[in-house]
Amino acid sequence: MSAEATITRGADALGAAFDFKSLVDKRHDYARAWKAKTGGKVLGWFEPYFPEEIAYAAGMLPVRILARHEVDDISDKWIYSSCYPVRDMVNQLLKGRYDYVDGLVNVEGCQWMYNAFEVMMNNRESLFYHYLFLPDYTNAATSKDVAKNEFAVLADRFKGWTGKSITDADLDAAIEVYNHNRLLLRRINELRRADRPVISGSEMMNLVLADQVMDKAEMNVILEDFIKELGLRKPGPDKIRLMIVGSETWDARLEELVEAQGANVVADELDNGTSYYWNNVLPQEDRLMALALRYLGRPHSALKDNNYRRRPQHIFELAEDFNVDGVLLEKQIYCHSHGSDMYAVWKMLRERYIPYHYFERGSLLPEDETAARLEAFLSMLKPGLNHLAGWHKKFGED
């Protein structure tokens, strides 16, 4: 599929398959084609708290910098320690995989991610850079004012860069597109609550990842079509229902491994997953304040869930609403935010008798090892003395 073809709207370009994974894989081609077509700027962003609406209102294509592993012999020169995804980002950025990006924005959040951002500042001086402070203390009375002002500063810097002011109408339009996008994603996600969902965990994850690197208006058309297609799908077999919680993931490999074991991931609490689209902007006259409240009020990421706790409760609600049988807690090696947030999650899950399996991962999963864990965990969740008691015949088989 040529780069040009991928930006043709709607399902036609994708075929009936709605192959979101290939959209993710071809995201660089997509962005280059977008640029060629529109002449606009592409803005790379790093942190889940980045207010994309502002960039979109400024006529840019905001794309999330996603980790993707390839042989890495240069990141050691620039950073020590750090989680694998961040290393992968540095590796990719230094190797020019994102050469179409005109600017990079980092938001107060994970410091490893910040490290990747700042390595780039020192490597590609010609790009536009902005660091946006969004309080770690999200709930202080003054936090929203700080956030709103930071958004105003960002809009101002965009203006200085592009030469174009962002009008209220621009913001309204962007908020409209993004709200619609989030609504569509929630609608699709809601289908996972069914006893026999018509969408698999890996499909959903790929979809959300693709959503983060594409023009939302275009994506919305695809999503509308996809929802129609989902309506035609027949429910699959009964499967064990899992939920994934933990460090950000950058592909759907874990979901695929779960599916290979005859189970399904029906819920997640990941910054790259449901947390990305969970809440909408509630419009008000002060557009930037509306945005500030949306971002401060989104499901807390682990790093920002440090004063009055929200995450455990949110995870519990998801687990209950989506009727999950067990939770996979995955943590990237060196992920300090999740490495220091698990206790409260463990505690909540134990108090509520929700089985979980905790494990560490890199950006690559050691597949046989992970499969062994999953198999044992799933076997624990199935009724009967062991999974040979016959019950497995109900699961994973039509």
Partner 1 sequence: MAAERSAGAGGAGLVTAGIDAGIAYTKVVILKDGAVVGRGIGPTGGVDRRERIEEAYQRALEDAGLDAGEVKGVVVTGKGKHDAGFAGKRISELLATKRAVERMSPGATCLVSAGADETIVSASAGEGGAGEYAFNQKCSAGLGLFLEYMADRLSMDIGELSSLADGVAAPEASQAAEGVAIPEAAKAGEAAVNEGCVVFAELDALSLLNHGVSPADVGRAVNRAAAARVSAVINDITYPSADRVVLVGGLAKNNAFVRALETLSGIKLTVPDDAEYAGALGAALAAADSAQ
Partner 2 sequence: MKNKQIWETRPLEFWDKAKELRARWQESSSDAKRVLGQGSTYDIDWAECFPAMNIVEDNPGGSMIQAKDSPYARKCRLASEIRGWGREICGYTNNLWGSMYLGYEQDGLPFPPRKFVVFMPAECDQHTKRGQQCRDFAPVPGWMSDCTIYLGEDDPVRDELFREHKVYCNFKQINDLERIFGQKFDDEKLSKMMDYSEEVIEYSRDIIMLMGRTIPSPLSVKDLYSVYTIGHLTKVDPEDTVNFWKMVRDEVQWRADNQIAAVGNERFRWVEAHPPSWHFLKYYRYMEKYGAVCLGSQYTAQNCGLLEYKPDGGIDRRVSMKYPKDTPIATREDALRMMLGPDPREPRAWKSDEYIRQDSIVEFADIMRADGALLPLWRGGVGCTLTRKEQAMRLRKAGLSVIYYEGSQPGDRTDLDEQRFLDQLDTWMESFGYEMLD
Partner 3 sequence: MVLQYAKWPEIQWMSDDAGWKEAKTITAGVDIGTTSAQAAVVADGQLAAYAGIRAGTDFRKTADEVMALALGASGITLERLSAVGATGFGKRNAAFATESLDEVSCHGKGARFIYGSEVTTVVDLGAQTVTAIKLYEWDRVWDFAMNDICATGMGRNIEMVCDLLHVPIGEIGEYSLDLGGKPDPEPVSTTCYNYAGTETMGLFRPEFRGDTLNGNEICASHLFAVAWRVLGVIGKLQSLEPGDIKVEGKLGFTGGLAHNAGVTRRIERELDTTALTSEYDPMLAGAIGAALLVLPEAAERGGVR
* CA-based nearest residue to 248, from 43, 22, 46, 61: 46
Determine the Cα angle at 122 with ends 121 and 124, to 5°: 65
Q: Rounded distance, CA 69 to CA 85, Å?
A: 8
Binding characters for partner 1, 251-280, by CB under 8 A (x = yes): --x---------------------------
C-beta closer to partner 1: residue 237 or 366: 366
Binding partner selected for residue 373 from partner 2, partner 3, partner 1, none, CB under the kind-specific 5 to 8 Å limit? partner 3
Report which residue type is found at 176: E
Q: Rounded distance, CA 224 to CA 211, Å?
A: 13
C-beta closer to partner 2: residue 80 or 353: 80
Q: Of the ranges 42-50, 64-72, 272-280, 346-354, which one interacts with partner 1 (CB under 8 A)?
A: 64-72
C-beta closer to partner 1: residue 60 or 365: 365
Determine the size of the site formed for partner 2 (CB under 8 A).
55
Q: How far is the CB of 358 from partner 3 (least distance, A)?
A: 7
Using an 8 Å Cβ cutoff, are 67 and 363 in contact? yes
* CA-based nearest residue to 301, from 291, 293, 309: 309
Using an 8 Å Cβ cutoff, are 223 and 181 in contact? yes
* CA-based nearest residue to 26, from 47, 5, 9: 5
Tell me which long-range contacts 52-55 makes (C-beta under 8 A, separation of at least 24). Answer: 52/178, 52/216, 53/171, 53/174, 53/175, 53/178, 53/281, 53/291, 54/151, 54/154, 54/155, 54/158, 54/166, 54/171, 54/174, 54/291, 55/105, 55/158
Number of continuous H segments (helices) and E segments (strands) in the chain: 19, 8
C-beta closer to partner 1: residue 77 or 193: 77
Select from 26, 27, 28, 68 the one that contacts partner 1 (CB under 8 A). Answer: 68
C-beta closer to partner 3: residue 4 or 360: 360
Binding partner selected for residue 73 from partner 2, partner 3, partner 1, none, CB under the kind-specific 5 to 8 Å limit? partner 1
Select from 15, 36, 37, 76 the one that contacts partner 1 (CB under 8 A). Answer: 76
Q: β-strand 326-332 against 356-361: which pairing, if any?
A: parallel
3-class SS at 363? coil
Specify the DSSP class assigned to residue 125. T
Select from 213, 319, 365, 374 the one that contacts partner 1 (CB under 8 A). Answer: 365
Binding partner selected for residue 119 from partner 2, partner 3, partner 1, none, CB under the kind-specific 5 to 8 Å limit? partner 2
Q: Of the ranges 174-182, 277-285, 299-307, 383-391, which one interacts with partner 2 (CB under 8 A)?
A: 299-307
Contacts with partner 3 by CB under 8 A lie at 333, 343, 346-347, 350, 355, 357-362, 366, 368-369, 372-373, 375-380, 385-388
3-class SS at 161? helix
Residue 286 CB neighbour total at 10 angstroms: 12
Q: Rounded distance, CA 6 to CA 22, Å?
A: 10
Binding partner selected for residue 385 from partner 3, partner 2, partner 1, none, CB under the kind-specific 5 to 8 Å limit? partner 3
C-beta closer to partner 1: residue 121 or 364: 364
Q: How far is the CB of 384 from partner 3 (least distance, A)?
A: 9
Q: Is 95 in the site for partner 1 (CB under 8 A)?
A: yes
C-beta closer to partner 2: residue 254 or 345: 345
Residue 175 CB neighbour total at 10 angstroms: 23
Q: Is 129 in the site for partner 2 (CB under 8 A)?
A: yes
Contact positions vs partner 2 (CB under 8 A): 76-82, 108, 110-112, 114-115, 118-119, 121-122, 129-131, 133, 135-137, 140-143, 145-146, 149-150, 153, 303, 306-307, 309, 331, 333-347, 358, 360
Contact positions vs partner 1 (CB under 8 A): 68-74, 76-77, 80, 84, 87, 95, 253, 362, 364-369
